[in-house]
Structure 1
Amino acid sequence: MTEAFSEIQETFDFLDDWEDRYRHVIELGKSYAALDPALRVDTLKVEGCASQVWLLPRLEDGRFSFQGASDALIVSGLIAILAALYNDTSLAEARKIDALAEFGALGFDQHLSAQRSNGLRAMIERIATYLATQ
């Protein structure tokens, strides 16, 4: 697990109610270095999301990372959390990550709408598919 994701976990542990947690997710999305608009093309679009989502995964020098973007603030925050979980991990480490379990441990399994849960699963599946082909 990355240090960035551990910091998000600590913040979630500190924040008691979900309104505060959602505000934090939105702030994470606002501060996330989103994918350049010129790269938001159909081939990078994630199907299964209610909002528009693009993910650009890459493997450089044996380290996995991705950039993403969304037109929805909360989804941008979810992308930022996924990036904190995955970015700058080795390929072997990235393949071992159970992102749904990590999001569940943060409480998202009980606090995301069905549409957002489906979108989150679609993003995680896109990442897993990429990792499986490397």
Structure 2
Amino acid sequence: MNLPANAQAALQAFSACAGWEQRARLLMQWGDQLAPLNDDERCEANRVEGCESQVWLLAEATAAHWQFRASSDARLLRGLLALLLVRVNGLTQAELTQLDLPGWFTQLGLARHLSPSRSNGLLAVLARMQQLLATANQGRTSH
């Protein structure tokens, strides 16, 4: 599967880092680039269950392609979300279901630095994405 251009840029940037300190700084810079969610979007209905930090996730399908937006109250987690979004945005549902996200974070050199709670949080975000996809499909088939 080809990487979206933003994901390729992320991979090149993180591959150039010499160690964890550089990666952590870069991660926070990526998080600072996330488009902020407004107060209405930071509601309970958009909150991801299973994360220690507050995380919100929104999804929207345009044609067959998905766009996700996310935010968190934790700076490092915002960086991880930004890297997740560059990997998933613009994909079709079939591509999303085949995606190896742990493999993506391994490619970026971040997987071994993720605490169990952060890894679980990312898995919770992925599970929430799958829920949103399933809900959208039910909505399409019920018409």
**TM-score (norm. length: structure 1):** 0.92
Instruction: Provide the rounded CA distance (Å) in 2 between the counterparts of 1:100 and 1:115.
Output: 14
Matched position secondary structure for 2:40: helix
Instruction: Provide the rounded CA distance (Å) in 2 between the counterparts of 1:37 and 1:97.
Output: 31
Instruction: Provide the rounded CA distance (Å) in 2 between the counterparts of 1:131 and 1:40.
Output: 20
Report the RMSD for the aligned CA atoms in angstroms: 1.4
Unaligned runs of 5+ in 2: 138-143
Alignment of 1:19-58 (within 5 A): 19-58=21-60
Is 1:18 paired with 2:26?
no
Unaligned runs of 5+ in 1: none
User: Residue 97 of structure 2 corresponds to which residue in structure 1?
Assistant: 95
Alignment of 1:59-98 (within 5 A): 59-98=61-100
CA drift at 1:108: 2.5
Matched position secondary structure for 1:116: helix
Instruction: Provide the rounded CA distance (Å) in 2 between the counterparts of 1:71 and 1:8.
Output: 22
Is 1:131 paired with 2:133?
yes
Instruction: Provide the aligned length of Structure 1 versus Structure 2.
Output: 134
- Quick one: which amino acid aligns to residue 26 of structure 1? M
Bigger radius of gyration among the two: 2
Structure 1 runs of 4+ aligned residues shifted over 6 Å read none
Superimposed CA distance per residue, residues 60-105 of structure 1 (whole angstroms, 9 cap, x where no aligned partner): 1111011111001111111111110011122222222111221122
Instruction: Provide the rounded CA distance (Å) in 1 between the counterparts of 2:130 and 2:94.
Output: 12
User: Residue 111 of structure 1 corresponds to which residue in structure 2?
Assistant: 113
**TM-score (norm. length: structure 2):** 0.87
CA drift at 1:124: 1.3
Verify the 8 A CA contact 2:15 2:109 in the aligned structure 1.
Answer: no
Superimposed CA distance per residue, residues 29-50 of structure 1 (whole angstroms, 9 cap, x where no aligned partner): 1111132222111111111111
- Report percent identity of matched pairs: 35
Matched position secondary structure for 1:127: helix
